[in-house]
Structure 1
């Protein structure tokens, strides 16, 4: 009987800790972002942009990854937006001409491109131009 009470108490503490932890994370306000990604003057057919808060600049929080389709991205299609402040953005661009096996979404247009963005704590739009000197990876 005592052992069952101890076990129930332990489980209750774990659940309480988990719910407090989850609540604290969900209280972090996020902001919508949308925009375009171009490479060599053309919209990137398919890819992703990942926004990671720059901890080197004191910005901490969850990253968000957004899909690029026909050169456009929008956090409305993701589970949330960004937290604002300095971020490191990683852009992956694919040509959309894939095969059914190894590369269903296509081949890389350029090596992963990283840049820094200082995002406002409000809804925003970003137009990103991947430099043309980004080399295409070998197949």
Structure 2
């Protein structure tokens, strides 16, 4: 009787494991979501690369999801919408740049400030169009 129970537990465990593997093997992305294209680039502030912050691509199409990416120390970024570095949805976008306070309370040296207009999709002068099949390499120049 005990051997029968151990065999049953082993079979249940094996079947559960196979179900978990099969569920994890799907594409993971809903085919009905808007198509994306890779987007990468660099951000400059008054002619110098911006070493930190976040860029956000807000599509003109209200059905499209926004994309965002962290600005690296060399000013470069890649954006993501649904998964890491999948880019932004196709079409026109307003682009905002934000530098949030550091979690440790330290300040950049030298300090920098993004003009308010560049932090809001309604007022930002930065606009780009993301096109399927293009490199979609963007240079975002912040003046002021």
TM-score (norm 1): 0.60
- The answer as to whether partners of 1:44 and 1:93 remain within 8 angstroms in 2 is no
Structure 2, unaligned runs of 5 or more: 1-28, 119-123
SS at match of 2:71: strand
**1:61 matched to which residue of 2?**
64
Aligned counterpart for 1:41 among listed residues 41, 47, 59: 47
In structure 2, the partner of 1:74 is 78
Give CA deviations for 1:80-110 in whole Å, capped at 9, x if unaligned: 311121111111246x9x5724xx5756522
Q: Deviations over 1:20-79 (max 9, x none)?
A: xx7354x42211111100012211010111011113xxx631111111112100137935
Identify unmatched segments of 5+ residues in structure 1. 1-21, 134-139
TM-score in terms of structure 2 length: 0.58
Aligned pairs, number: 103
Aligned 8 A contact 1:46 1:105 in 2: no
Misfit runs of 4+, over 6 Å:
none
State which structure, 1 or 2, has the greater radius of gyration over its C-alpha atoms. Answer: 2
